[in-house]
Amino acid sequence: MALAACGVPAGAKSLTAIAEWATDAPDQLLLQCGATLRDPDRPYRAPSEATVRRVLQRIDGDSLDAVIGGWLTARADASRAADQDTYPPSRPVRAAVTVDGKSLRDALRADGRCVHLISALRTDGIVLAQREVDAKSNEITEFRPLLDPLDLTGAVVTFDALLTQTGHAKFLVEEKEAHYIAVLKGNHPTCMRW
């Protein structure tokens, strides 16, 4: 996992490329990524392409996302709390969450189409939740399942025109006790009259 996390930002775009990148990685990096002592000639040998493939295919993406997201959120919250102890805000800060969808570059499904995610992000860049948008669906149907598990009490949720739906506004206000800022365009022509 750690080698894949290092290899992809370094340009590896496939499982084979990750394994090749790991093969060229220095011993110290392999050690830091959890490699074990195997061979006196090369003390820390990178895993084979088959091992990289096997490990990455067995990972539950949603669980990994939840663990990493939780860890990043806890770190950001601790840092923010330390900053507030030093520089307390003059008034309470309302949480802000942005919901948006994006296609992942170079991430393809088995059928060759791009992977598309809808995400809920805090203004500090922390991803609170994300879901893959099904190939036969769109972001609208994933809005509620994305936000359902989150505590949004008092938060301001922003989203684009595609997600500006009456049902979404009611869900946020009535069930999540949140506020919203929605973008209106041609999808709500009766609201556009001045």
pLDDT in tens, 165-184: 999 999 999 999 999 999 88
Q: What is the pLDDT of residue 147?
A: 94
Q: Does any domain span residue 72?
A: no
Residue at 78 is within a domain? no
- Within-domain flag for 77: no
Q: Which has the higher per-residue pLDDT, 117 or 192?
A: 117
Joined tokens for residue 85:
């102890």
pLDDT of residue 87: 64
- Quote the distance between the C-alpha of residue 185 and its chain's center: 27
156: containing domain: 94-192
Q: Are residues 120 and 175 in the same domain?
A: yes
Residue 142 lies in a domain: yes
Inter-residue contact 130 to 61 (CB < 8 Å): no
Spell out where 86-126 has E strands. Answer: 96-108, 114-122
| CA-closest candidate to residue 162, choices 136, 182, 133 | 182
pTM: 0.66
Mean pLDDT over all residues of the chain? 84
71/68 Cα distance (integer angstroms):
5
Report how many domains make up the chain.
2
43 part of a folded domain: yes
Question: 99 pairs with which residues across the strands?
Answer: 120, 159
Q: Identify whether residues 48 and 101 lie together within a single domain.
A: no
Same-domain check for residues 99 and 51: no
Confidence of residue 82 (pLDDT cuts 50, 70, 90): confident
